[in-house]
Amino acid sequence: MTLHGSRFDQLVGVSAPRVRKHVIWSLKTGTQEAVDAYEFSKYSDGHTFGTNRWRFTVGALKDQDQLEALPEAKPLRVRSTFMLGVGNAILYPVCYASDSTTDVRGMKIRTSQIRTEMFAAYGQLAPQVQTALRISDGIDGQEWAFDDLEETLAELPEQPKMLLLAYASNREGGLLNCFVGEAKLDLSGSVSWEWIEPLAITDAEGGTGGISVVSPIDPSAPGFGTGAEPSINLEDADDTANESNEH
């Protein structure tokens, strides 16, 4: 693996250290709150823990008190899918594993229509995400949602990059790993990384640098948005995200 400068820092800009701190705090807080809920309820199981882990993590990422220290961050919601925009990046959180040994380079996520659209276009954002950004620019501190896009808007002058925020956590160890990078999906939900780098989950690990795991994706190659739409059950797909073996 070849070490390189942090692509994440380059995209996010001067606020990158504060974004890193907020992201890690949110992932740790969301996992711990899910653990507390699991221990409190006698009806909890692996599925409810996974659902709560996602729900509490999203709640922490958009916590207004925490975002006072990160005013440039924009919580975005497209249908039931949550993202956090900051700098020239849009972070989309997904839990890829419930252990520390699963290789993030082989991760898979559930497919859905919005994920198809989010990851289909190389180098540009899905129209729904662009619209959410446009709306958020005009309303300070307001989270907006929309379901239908009636017309295709002109592309934003500067295209933020859609980044996958992939993390692993469980009830026993809390937050175990965290990675961020640009990726594409195939029809099965397998992730192909253009680039990926770790986000340090402890102060001792530091916070810069990354790992190059594959060659850059050819922009002309067919993306996830090509071909027939797969026949899948989309019920709760975006609310539960991917919870590894805790379905």
Rounded Cα gap, residues 155 and 19, in angstroms: 25
Question: Does residue 246 sit within a domain?
Answer: no
Question: Does residue 74 sit within a domain?
Answer: yes
The boundaries of the domain holding residue 88 are 2-240
Question: Does residue 230 sit within a domain?
Answer: yes
Rounded to the nearest 10 degrees, what angle do helices 16-40 and 46-61 cross at? 150
Rounded Cα gap, residues 33 and 118, in angstroms: 29
Question: Does residue 118 sit within a domain?
Answer: yes
pTM above 0.75, yes or no: no
State the pLDDT confidence band at 115, using cuts at 50, 70 and 90. confident
Percent of the chain residues past pLDDT 90, beyond the cut: 38
Mean pLDDT of the chain: 72
Question: Does residue 140 sit within a domain?
Answer: yes
**pLDDT by residue (tens digit) across 168-218?**
999 999 999 999 999 887 778 888 898 999 999 986 444 333 343 433 334
Q: Which DSSP letter does residue 190 get?
A: B
Question: Does residue 81 sit within a domain?
Answer: yes
Answer yes or no: are the C-beta atoms of 37 and 44 closer than 8 Å: yes
pLDDT number for residue 79: 73
Number of domains comprising the chain = 1
Rounded Cα gap, residues 77 and 132, in angstroms: 7
The two three-digit tokens of residue 1, written as one number: 């693996």
State the pLDDT confidence band at 126, using cuts at 50, 70 and 90. low
Q: Does 47 score more than 80 pLDDT?
A: no
Percent of the chain residues past pLDDT 70, beyond the cut: 62
| Three-state DSSP class for residue 174 | strand
State the pLDDT confidence band at 162, using cuts at 50, 70 and 90. confident
Buried residues in 37-72 as b, exposed as e (16+ CB within 10 A): bbeeeeebebeebbbbbbbbbbebbbeeebbeebee
C-alpha dihedral over 164, 169, 174, 180, to 10 degrees?
-20
Q: Does 14 score more than 70 pLDDT?
A: yes
pLDDT number for residue 93: 93
CA distances from 135 to 43, 75, 76 (A): 40, 11, 10
Question: Does residue 23 sit within a domain?
Answer: yes
pLDDT number for residue 80: 76
Question: Does residue 138 sit within a domain?
Answer: yes
**pLDDT by residue (tens digit) across 82-112?**
889 998 888 999 999 999 999 999 998 887 7
Q: Does 64 score more than 70 pLDDT?
A: yes
